[in-house]
Amino acid sequence: MARAEIAARTLRTDRWWLPPLTTFVGLLLISIYAAFRTFQGDFYWVDQYHYLTPMYSPCLSEECLPAASHFGQPLPALPGFLTPPVVIIPFLLGFRITCYYYRKAYYRAAWASPPACAVAEPHSKYTGETRFPLIAQNLHRYFFYAASILLLINIYDAIVAFGTGVGLGNIILLVNVGLLAAYTLSCHSCRHIAGGRLKHFSKHPVRYWMWTQISKLNNRHMLLAWTSLIFVCLTDLYVALVASGTISDLRFIN
Amino acid sequence: MSYQGKFRVWRGDDSGGALEDFTVEVNEGEVVLDIIHRLQATQAPDLAVRWNCKAGKCGSCSAEINGRPRLMCMTRMSVFEESETITVTPMRTFPIIRDLVTDVSFNYTKAREVPSFAPPKDLAPGEYRMQQVDVERSQEFRKCIECFLCQNTCHVVRDHEENKEAFSGPRFLMRVAELEMHPLDTADRVDQAQDEHGLGYCNITKCCSEVCPEHIHITDNALIPMKERVADRKYDPVVWLGNKLFRRS
Amino acid sequence: MPELERHSFDVLVIGAGGAGLRAAIEAREHGMRTAVLCKSLFGKAHTVMAEGGIAAAMGNVNSSDNWQVHFRDTMRGGKFLNNWRMAELHAQEAPQRVWELETYGALFDRTKDGRISQRNFGGHEYPRLAHVGDRTGLELIRTLQQKIVSLQQEDHKEFGDYEERLRVFQEFTVTDLVKDGDRIAGAFGYWRESGRFVLFEAPAVILATGGIGKSFKVTSNSWEYTGDGHALALRAGASLINMEFIQFHPTGMVWPPSVKGILVTESVRGDGGVLRNSDGKRFMFDYIPEVFKDKYADNEEEADRWYTDQANNRRPPELLPRDEVARAINSEVKAGRGSPHGGVFLDVSTRLPAEEIRRRLPSMHHQFKELADVDITAQPMEVGPTCHYVMGGVEVDPDTGSSSVAGLYAAGEVSGGMHGSNRLGGNSLSDLLVFGRRAGAGAAEYVRAMTDRPVVSEESVTEARATALKPFQQEGGENPYTLHMELQQSMNDLVGIIRRAGEMEEALQRLEKLKERAQSLTVEGHQQFNPGWHLALDLRNMLLVSECVAKAALLRTESRGGHTRDDYPSMDAEWRRKLLVCTASGDGVAVEEKPQIPIRSDLLDLFDRTELEKYLTAEELS
Ligand code: SF4
Ligand code: SF4
Ligand code: FES
Ligand code: FES
């Protein structure tokens, strides 16, 4: 038996292409900015106020400014055009790329699989996440652990920066780690580890409580994914502008 | 109050068909299914349509309205402009029988492939004790009215007929999750979900959740937690280490 | 003529609602090769619409509850006209049937200590309804459906075929039962999809087809409820009882017009919702009948206290049995105190916090939001009576569900007697389970004890086919939709909630005319999925059953439960002793009186004498 003969790829009459297009443009712009800043290799540390951009934290190789290396410099200088962030970027990128929300976003926006609901996708074959390379999406768990460690370091950075007083940069760094923490906590893996994997919530009241709280955050995972991503860029931009002397930090104390 | 609405309804069967135009009366407070019934009673007595409860409870009247998978009985005419032409087509993913009626046996086949509830052997009827917080997750999935709109919308089978064999679809992956989270189910369904029901085909693009008339969070609460359970078993370093170190004998 | 598709089974179950599925499970577990035939898809039966819960005296919430109390409530609700044996079995077995569902995988809402939670409902003395939010019927159907799947999986393991011993034929209509002499021999029908005819040979048939609501204009029932089982039984020679008793659910939606009649669950009232007229008055206090005065509060304060302290207060009158509430709403509307769209107001928004309403009544919230654009957490609903349930049905043996025709069984709404003149909310789901199981076992026993299997004659097949094809053979006749609409209007107006002799006589005249016109119905097109043809065949059943209703209603010159006569407004103890029995006769039906079997004395002893005096004659009491 055959399906109903309907030629149109979709009969949707709304602007279904708008959300994937917006996502695509948004992700593209952010990628360009992040790539530029990564390979710029400069303006990541404000010595006067101890501001370190999250994109360069932790700074572990020998070409780092010594003051910016809160955890020493265990790595030798990186060869060629490589800059300090390339050490940590794989983890940060890996976390976001394997994130369940971003997967949805770029599968739809970049790969059109599907472009929108009830709109036919252009590919003739589809195996989803059943085989290499996409089966590697299952490694999200590893990236979650790694990103959590990086988050702790970012929090440390933000606190250390208060050693020199309080300025707008401090507030920005603080909000940034707040958003990053909310995003990381709202992760589906986190929700699962905290309590979701249990069969009997009633026997683990504390984990159940954590699970309910994380579930609330998890409902907003998409929102947190975007705000935290955009805010990281803004934080970095602010640090870069202050570090390069383009603007000066607004100080409240000191 | 009432006006003449413009409709395009797909008519035909498995040998072919086309969209047919109709102009039909629309009154205040009506839903798309009312209009289809009016067509039946006045202009097209043999127009085939499946329905039952007319209250969004039985999941019979699934179709695609202006290209969006929906229940006809729960789509109010007031959401459309009076001048709009409303297109009603059968669900695409399933073989057509006639007009708006499709053959949904794919779903019944898949339902049978999910191993049933397996309670503890020594528990007598009447002795079951479960806490409300423990049943709530599975209860959400049991709200499902089996309209099969999610099955219809999921691109894994909608756009790739050949995947029907390997993929059970969101409705039945959710059934696996429901049993997996059932406080008294004793079976282990994690490997099955991946190997037999095709969990890996789902790329969590959430169209199933978008169309579900019961607003079940299929992806967030069933599919992703199942993927996480698979990850627990196969891909988590900490769990792996834990199992190595503290393996219960 | 194309080749006739034939199947042979031990037990045929017609209908795949709660009763049908439970019967099929039982028959299959007794080793019978069983088939389920249903008009809709498997799992879509009207049972999914049941919202409130399953009444079973498990005593989980109030440990004073037991089967005797449940029995008493049921008899009271039915105004003592119930088949007491059925009411007894029902009250005794309901808890086991509910627990059994848990072993099939059902997930009811829980109490603190992990048992099945139970809720209050109209007419039930204690919280008694096992429930899942307000979608209990869906849970019941899905659970039974999944149990059937699990039995099929067992067969698959054993025989390599899922359908070896239990098969579901969906979207299939039975048009006639076939007999061999006095015994049932099978059933004849067609696939709705293709219109092709099928003959099922089977020595036992269980009717589980539900009700007759589609003969009325305003109804909560789906299109399936065309009284098929009632009519099949009549034509096969069985009798129907209590057909005059039709329950009008007090709260159906009244607006928008296209959903008029759709149910608003009684749990809204059980959870605190109150009824008000256009003056804002809680009018139910004015409608407490004498027999219920000691059980229902006569002032708002006491009624409100009841929700938190049920031991020391009487229940709010909103929770009176359904017939009382339906009549009260009817009178308020007639007196000009109705809501804008001709109902009254049902309000929970001022009684419970919005969050609580969404949690306890999720599907009601959804239903009003989507269909009427009303937010029940902020606004009152408009509700009015809607035809909901027929108490009458096939006269059966309480223990086995057997009708007077050998091999023909009935369970659920299509059977009669259990609920007397009025059914309590929550008692239908338990009825389905208790008597579905009993009918399944009864039919299995019958088949097992049988020495020779009945044979289907070729003539009966030819005849059944000719009857089914008749609407195609004629030209220039009427459209079945027109006839159906006229039937619904007549029944609604003339044999509705409030009845009068003159109106019912007129109804009978109209029915005669409709029957004549139905002889020459014409449908266009072909046999494949043709709704016009389907309706034409259903119409035959509706007309037959409507005649039973109208005739019986005209004869019963009293008011009781789901039968209210304007010209005989009070209950008459003499009439309690009589049943009206409807049988096929000529091309119509005949209705006769038959004495009721006296209630067993140990069951009578469960009641106070003063209470019995309200219902029984002096002679019965002595
Ligand atoms: S989330 Fe998965 S199951 Fe749901 S529609 Fe998308 S691919 Fe299909
Ligand atoms: S999960 Fe939702 S969309 Fe899918 S069948 Fe059930 S009710 Fe329909
Ligand atoms: S799911 Fe998005 S970060 Fe884990
Ligand atoms: S008819 Fe039941 S869901 Fe639409």
Subunit contact B92:A6, Cβ cutoff 8 A: yes
Do the chains contact at C113 and B56, CB–CB below 8 Å? no
CB contact under 8 A, B211 and A117: yes
Ligand 3 binding site (Cβ under 6 Å of any ligand atom): A 99-101, 140, 144, 187-189, 221
Cα atoms found within 13 Å of the Cα of residue A199, Cβ hemisphere only? 14
CA of C209 to the centre of ligand 4 (A): 19
pLDDT for C195: 92
Tell me B218's DSSP state: I
Atom of ligand 3 nearest to the CA of A147: 3
Rounded to whole angstroms, how far apart are CA atoms C79 and C88? 15
Helices (H) and strands (E) in chain C, counts: 19, 23
Task: Answer yes or no: do C114 and B131 touch at CB < 8 A.
Answer: yes
Residue that is written with structure tokens 């459906």 in the block: C145
pLDDT of residue B249: 43
Q: Hey, of A201, A203, A207, A210, which one would you mutate to test binding to chain B, going by the most B CBs within 10 A of its CB? A: A201
Domain at C250-387: CATH architecture: Alpha-Beta Complex (3.90)
Residues of B (9-68) whose Cβ lies below 8 Å from C: 13, 27-31, 34, 40-41, 45-60
Provide ipTM, 2 decimals. 0.94
Report the chain B residue with the minimal C-alpha distance to residue A221.
B220
3-state SS record for B106-163: HHHHHHHHCCCCCCCCCCCCCCCCCCHHHHHHHHHHHCCCCCCHHHHHCHHHHCCHHH
Domain assignments of chain B as residue spans, ordered by start: 2-102, 105-245
Mark B72-89 as b/e (b = at least 16 C-beta within 10 Å): bbbbbbeebeeeebbbbb
Mutate to test the pocket of ligand 4, among B49, B61, B144, B211 (most ligand atoms within 8 A of CB): B61
Alpha-carbon distance of C108 to C93, in angstroms, equals 18
Neighbours of B164 (CB within 10 A): 18
The pTM (predicted TM-score) of the whole model is 0.94
Of A4, A107, A125, the CB nearest to B10: A4
Q: Which pLDDT score is estimated for C1?
A: 56
B233, pLDDT greater than 70? yes
Pocket around ligand 1: residues whose beta carbon is below 6 Å from it? Answer: B 153-154, 156, 170, 202-208, 219, 223
Rounded CA separation C449/A221 (Å): 65
Q: Does B236 touch chain A (CB under 8 A)?
A: yes
Ordered by start, the domain boundaries in chain C are 250-387, 459-580
In whole angstroms, give the CA distance from residue C482 to residue B41.
Answer: 9
Is A1 a residue whose pLDDT tops 80?
Answer: no
C-alpha gyration radius of chain A: 21
Q: Nearest by CB to A100, from B16, B94, B204: name it.
A: B204
Query: Contact B130/C530, CB-based, under 8 Å?
Result: no
Q: Which of these, B52, B53, B22, lies nearest to B38 by C-alpha position?
A: B22
Lookup: tokens for C437: 């199981």
Task: Give yes or no for residue B177 having a pLDDT over 90.
Answer: yes
Using an 8 Å CB-CB cutoff, list chain B residues near A201: 131, 133-134
Among chain B residues, the shortest Cα distance to C115 is held by B129
Residue identifier of the C-alpha nearest atom 7 of ligand 2: B144
Q: Atom 6, ligand 2: which residue's CA is nearest?
A: B144
Tell me which residues of chain C have a pLDDT lower than 70. Answer: 1-2
Residues of C annotated as catalytic are 249, 269
Size of interface B-C (CB pairs under 8 A): 166
Q: What is the largest CA-CA distance in chain B?
A: 74
When CB atoms are compared, the residue of C41, C104, C109 closest to B117 is C104
Tell me if A128 and B225 make a contact (CB, 8 A cut-off).
no
Could you please report the per-residue DSSP string of chain A?
--B----SS----S-TTHHHHHHHHHHHHHHHHHHHHHHH--S-EETTTTEE-GGG-S--BTTS-GGG-TT---BPPPPTT--GGGGTHHHHHHHHHH-HHHHHHHHHHTT-SSSSTTS--S-S---TTSSTTGGGGGGHHHHHHHHHHHHHHHHHHHHHGGGG-EEHHHHHHHHHHHHHHHHHHT-HHHHIIIIIT-S-GGG-HHHHHHHHHHHHHHHTHHHHHHHHHHHHHHHHHHHHHHHTTSS-PPEEE-
**CB < 8 Å to B54, chain C:** 222, 258-259, 262
In whole angstroms, how large is the CA radius of gyration of chain B?
22
Residue A198 has pLDDT above 70, yes or no: yes
Which residue type does C23 have? A
Do residues C282 and C250 touch, judged by C-beta distance below 8 A?
Answer: no
Q: What distance in angstroms lies between residue A232's CA and the mean position of ligand 4's atoms? A: 47
Asked whether the CA dihedral A53, A57, A61, A67 is positive or negative, the reply is: positive
The closest residue, in CA terms, to atom 4 on ligand 3 is: A187
Query: Cβ of B235 and A141 within 8 Å?
Result: yes
- Of residues A10, A188, A196, nearest to B67 (C-beta): A10
Strand partners, C14: C37, C207
Asked if residue C537 lies in contact with residue C173, where contact means CB atoms within 8 angstroms, the answer is yes
Mean pLDDT score, A5-15? 95
Q: Which residues line ligand 4 (CB under 6 A)?
A: B 51-54, 56-61, 71, 73
> Which atom in ligand 4 lies closest to the alpha carbon of residue B62?
4
- Backbone φ and ψ of C388, nearest 5°: -125, -40
Whether residue B119 lies within 8 A of chain A, CB to CB, comes out as: no
Q: Which of B91, B93, B138, B145 to mutate to test the pocket of ligand 2 (most atoms within 8 A of CB)?
A: B145
Closest CA to C541 of C201, C211, C107: C211
Specify whether the CB–CB gap between A75 and A61 falls below 8 A.
Answer: yes
* Structural tokens at position A202: 């009633």
Over 90: is that where the pLDDT of A199 sits? yes
Q: What pLDDT is attached to residue C548?
A: 97
**Cis omega (within 30 of 0) for bond into A66:** no
Q: Could you name the CATH architecture of B2-102? A: Roll (3.10)
Atom index in ligand 2 nearest the CA of residue B141 equals: 1
Q: Tell me which residue in B159, B163, B236 faces A121 most closely, judged by beta carbons.
A: B159
Give the torsion sign (CA, C289, C295, C301, C304).
negative
Mean pLDDT of A213-228: 98
Distance from CA of C56 to the nearest CA of B (A): 12
Class of the CATH domain delimited by C459-580: mainly alpha
Burial of residue C590 (number of CB atoms within 10 Å: 0-12, 13-18, 19+): middle
Contacts (Cβ under 8 Å, ≥6 apart) of A124: none
Contact C491, C390 (CB under 8 A): no
Answer yes or no: is the C-beta of B207 below 6 A from any ligand 2 atom.
no
Supply the DSSP symbol for C375.
-
CB B17 within 8 Å of CB A5: yes
**CA angle (A146, A134, A30) in 5-degree steps:** 60
The predicted pLDDT at position C314 comes to: 92
Whether A199 and chain B come into contact, CB under 8 Å, resolves to: yes
Using the Cβ of C517 and the Cβ atoms of chain B, whether some distance falls under 8 Å is answered with: no
For residue C574, give Cα distances in angstroms to A109, B197, C577.
77, 64, 6
B116 Cα–ligand 2 center, Å = 19
pLDDT tens track for C171-225: 999 999 999 999 999 999 999 988 999 999 999 999 999 999 999 999 999 899 9
| Spatial distance between the Cα atoms of A28 and C277, rounded to a whole number of angstroms | 61
Out of B57, B216, B220, mutate this one to test ligand 2's pocket (max ligand atoms within 8 Å of CB): namely B216
Selecting from A5, A127, A138 the residue whose C-beta is nearest the C-beta of B230 gives: A138
Interface contact flag, C529 B59, Cβ < 8 Å: no
CATH code given to domain B105-245: 1.10.1060.10
A205 near B CB under 8 A:
no
Contact B29 C135 (CB under 8 A): no
Between the two ends of chain B, the Cα-to-Cα distance in Å is 74
- Restricting to B residues 160-199, those with a Cβ less than 8 Å away from any Cβ of A are 160-161, 163, 181, 183, 198
